[in-house]
Amino acid sequence: MSGQTLFAKVWDAHVVAPETAATPATLYVDLHLVHEVTSPQAFDVLRERGLRVRRPDRTVATMDHSIPTTPRPARGPQLISDPEARAQIERLERNCAEFGVKLHALGDDQQGIVHVIAPEIGLTRPGMTITCGDSHTSTHGAFGALAFGIGTSEVGYVLATQCLLQRRPKTMRATMDGAPTRGVTAKDLVLALIAKIGTAGGTGHVIEYTGSAVRAMSMEERMTVCNMTIEGGARAGMIAPDDHTYQWLAGCPEAPKGAAWERALAYWRSLQTEPGAAFDRDVTIDVSALTPMITFGTDPSTAIPIGSPVPDAGGDPSRARSLAYMGVEAGKPLLGRKVDVVFVGSCTNARLSDLRQAASVVKGRRVAPGVRMMVVAGSQQVKKHAEAEGLDQIFRDAGAEWREPGCSMCIAMNGDRLEAGQYAVSTSNRNFEGRQGQGGRTFLASPLTAAAAAVTGRITDVRELMAG
Amino acid sequence: MEPIRTIVSRFVWLPLDDADTDQIIPARFLKTTSRVGLGAHLFADRRGPDFPLDQPDAKGAKVIVAGRNFGCGSSREHAPWALADAGFSAIIALGIADIFRANSIKNGIVPIVVDAAFHARLAADRAAEVVIDLDKLTVSIGKDGPSAPFVLDAFSRHCLMAGVDELGLLLAQTDAISAYEKRVEAAS
Ligand code: SF4
């Protein structure tokens, strides 16, 4: 077999010291993204050991996880009433000031969820290695970067040395061919993939997504797919760059310009997986056969076609527990079940196209009585563009909440959360027990399906509400 | 980090599949800026009279035996911090998620994947002690009981056994890192 994969090309270009039987490779990190939750203890280590941030110019911070999404004052500091969250935010401000790291703080017009802002600014580019103390760093793979989440110890290593010790992972190719039918989105594709491979199916692997459906996807859709890669157990997902990628980057403030752009473009074009390149594993998804998907259980692999009955636990005690926690019955579809909250947000589905899709369903309708619909743009930029198009007005007119950018109810550590027993349809990525609030119960779905639930108050096949 | 050679301990039987890091340490405890004290919140939302960690014989155990895909989900190192703080130094499971595995090793927790047959033997003998031997890379039930090998790459084993700090190793490569940076900058 000849030919190199996209992954191999990016990996090889970043090896500072090769891997041996005794030691992993030393891998260089081009871009390190930092947020308030997983960084304080890492900066402490630097301080204890008298170290500096090696490349502040390759390090960018924002605040997203623990911040409230309630209205923010036009100027002056945001009042954060939770003293712990406030202390964490202030700690990040102090750390960034002391170590010379650029911070997109509250009030900055590039603040937002870390995985939304870096691609928007043009920090995320093909062929890069990118790390962040956050498992959804896989999102950035949509640009042909090798991007993966790390723990706080490793955050400290990258701050201090710009490197990590890593064993070369295996590769998996996920081929998605065919045209999606009406109502089927990138979220549905990736939920179908995770249902197929399972939550640990990608363990030890980097997934490259290919196929006609992937080539047809916008960058935002590709980010949705790569974002969810970690829910299938793989730390990184990658998509080879193409004209969609270059067009996106051409509009970004931090993308290279002039001659540097031409040089970069030549390099980016060289990153494609070559014919005959070998993968350790192959999976395929026939996209034309898919319908909108929704999860019924407490892990993202429990996705089923929206009209299908919930499968039987089949004697698996963990599955039985998850059905009991969710209060759902095997053999019956989820369609028609009442919901309490609809959350449109998170690094999975809170970009402009996601909000447009949700708005297309909500437009001219009302959020059903008794349902709380929260719409939380992924970043200040997304929010600004959505408002310029009047999307905020569509949501507000329908009775939905239009909130400030942040992780919000995806993680429920910032005031936005489900009450015990409540049901949510959520565009986020995790339906784990208590993820969206202690005792809360989450159905994961696309922005279209979430919006359909908001206006009907029930789990609904969005295709019934779509014109044409 | 304390070097580890062998662990001899009773174990907590926690038959959970996909025990994600949100369960191990719920997000509301992530507002801390410290790494100590998280043990008090280990599996916070699952605790109660029926939960294995709350049984009298769980006291003093250093090992958890879990199901498939332990530690999946978020990359929060708060999960191994909480486990270590609560006195655990090994996880035996049918599968362990990648990021959790990497985080565990940095916090003196040995990640051990066993097959279903050995897992079933553990299930059948829940009062037994397990003996984990990092030298031989084996886990056995009792001193002379059934034993199974486990896989741990040479480097991770070395780090656990010698209490090695990876940051020190990376800092020792500063010259190579600078040379790499020069090379890349010259080429672009
Ligand atoms: S939106 Fe959710 S998944 Fe994404 S970074 Fe924030 S907490 Fe993590």
| Predicted local confidence at residue B187, as pLDDT | 87
Are the beta carbons of B80 and B104 closer than 8 angstroms? yes
- Distance from the CA of A36 to the center of ligand 1, in angstroms? 12
Question: Considering CB atoms only, which of B22, B31, B167 is closest to A157?
Answer: B167
| Predicted local confidence at residue A85, as pLDDT | 93
| Predicted local confidence at residue A2, as pLDDT | 72
Q: What distance in Å separates residue A202's CA from the closest CA in chain B? A: 10
The reply to whether B171 touches chain A by the CB within 8 Å rule is yes
| Predicted local confidence at residue A6, as pLDDT | 98
Contact A64 CB / ligand 1 (< 6 Å): yes
* pLDDT-based confidence at residue A76 (cuts at 50, 70, 90): low
Query: Which ligand 1 atom sits closest to the C-alpha of A64?
Result: 6
Q: For an interface test with B, which of A152, A166, A418 has the most B Cβ atoms less than 10 Å from its Cβ?
A: A152
Q: What is the DSSP letter of B100?
A: H
- Which ipTM did the prediction report? 0.96
Contact A410 CB / ligand 1 (< 6 Å): yes
| Cα distance between residue A113 and residue A65, in whole Å | 8
A90 — alpha (psi -120 to 50), left (phi > 0) or beta? alpha
Residues of B in contact with A49 (CB under 8 A): 167
| Cα distance between residue B65 and residue B42, in whole Å | 15
Query: Mind giving me the DSSP string for A230-256?
Result: GGGT-SEEE----HHHHHHHHT-TTS-
A428: Cα separation from own chain's centroid: 8
Query: Cα dist. A130→A194, A254, A324, B162 in Å?
Result: 23, 16, 39, 30
| Cα distance between residue B53 and residue B56, in whole Å | 8
The reply to whether B177 touches chain A by the CB within 8 Å rule is yes
Residues of B in contact with A167 (CB under 8 A): 153, 155
| Predicted local confidence at residue A78, as pLDDT | 67
The reply to whether B161 touches chain A by the CB within 8 Å rule is no
Are the beta carbons of A418 and A385 closer than 8 angstroms? no
| Cα distance between residue B185 and residue B188, in whole Å | 5
Residue in B with minimal Cα distance to A262: B188
| Predicted local confidence at residue A77, as pLDDT | 61
pLDDT tens column, A99-142? 999 999 999 999 999 999 999 999 999 999 999 999 999 999 99
Cβ separation of A233 and B176 shorter than 8 Å? Answer: no
pLDDT tens column, A231-262? 999 999 999 999 999 999 999 999 999 999 99
Residues of B in contact with A84 (CB under 8 A): 31-32
Q: What distance in Å separates residue B144's CA from the closest CA in chain A? A: 31
| Cα distance between residue B27 and residue B134, in whole Å | 33
CA angle, B77 as apex, B87 and B140 as ends, to 5°? 45
Q: Checking DSSP bridges between strand B6-13 and strand B129-133, what pairing results, if any? A: antiparallel
Contact A134 CB / ligand 1 (< 6 Å): yes
Which amino acid is residue B13, in one-letter code? W
Query: Which ligand 1 atom sits closest to the C-alpha of A348?
Result: 4
Beta strands in A228-381 (DSSP E): 236-238, 281-286, 293-295, 303-305, 341-344, 372-376
Question: Considering CB atoms only, which of A154, A160, A200 is closest to B69?
Answer: A200
Position A286 pLDDT exceeds 80:
yes
| Predicted local confidence at residue A73, as pLDDT | 76
* pLDDT-based confidence at residue A426 (cuts at 50, 70, 90): very high
Query: Cα dist. B18→A233, A299, A466, B40 in Å?
Result: 11, 8, 36, 22
pLDDT tens column, A298-336? 999 999 999 999 999 999 999 999 999 999 999 999 999
What sign has the CA pseudo-torsion A241, A245, A250, A254?
A: negative
| Predicted local confidence at residue A468, as pLDDT | 58
| Predicted local confidence at residue B1, as pLDDT | 77
Along the 188 residues of chain B, how does pLDDT read in single tens digits?
Answer: 789 999 999 999 999 999 999 999 999 999 999 999 999 999 999 999 999 999 999 999 999 999 999 999 999 999 999 999 999 999 999 999 999 999 999 999 999 999 999 999 999 999 999 999 999 999 999 988 999 999 999 999 999 999 998 999 999 999 999 999 999 999 87
Q: What distance in Å separates residue A465's CA from the closest CA in chain B? A: 34
* pLDDT-based confidence at residue A165 (cuts at 50, 70, 90): very high
* pLDDT-based confidence at residue A195 (cuts at 50, 70, 90): very high
The number of C-alpha atoms within 13 Å of B117 and in the hemisphere containing its C-beta is: 4
Secondary structure of residue B33 in the 3-state scheme: coil
Backbone angles phi and psi of A63, in degrees to 5: -120, 130
* pLDDT-based confidence at residue A79 (cuts at 50, 70, 90): confident
Contact A449 CB / ligand 1 (< 6 Å): no
Place of tokens 């980057």: A249
Strands, sheet with B147-149, edge to edge from the N-terminal-most edge strand: B110-113, B90-93, B63-65, B6-13, B129-133, B138-141, B147-149
In the structure encoding, which two tokens stand for residue A5, read together? 């994969």
| Predicted local confidence at residue B75, as pLDDT | 96
**Percent of chain A clearing pLDDT 90 (strictly above):** 97
* pLDDT-based confidence at residue A172 (cuts at 50, 70, 90): very high
Contacts of A32 (CB under 8 A, 6+ apart): A55, A58, A59, A60, A130, A131, A132, A155, A158, A159, A162
Q: For an interface test with B, which of A161, A316, A347 has the most B Cβ atoms less than 10 Å from its Cβ?
A: A161
Cβ separation of A26 and B170 shorter than 8 Å? Answer: yes
Q: Work out the mean pLDDT of chain A and round it to a whole number.
A: 96
Radius of gyration, alpha carbons of chain B:
18
Position A75 pLDDT exceeds 80:
no
Contact A346 CB / ligand 1 (< 6 Å): yes
Q: Whose CA is closest to A33, among A168, A105, A124, A97?
A: A124
Are the beta carbons of B77 and B64 closer than 8 angstroms? no
Taking CA atoms only, the protein residue closest to ligand 1 atom 4 is A347
Cβ separation of B180 and A16 shorter than 8 Å? Answer: yes
The reply to whether A313 touches chain B by the CB within 8 Å rule is no
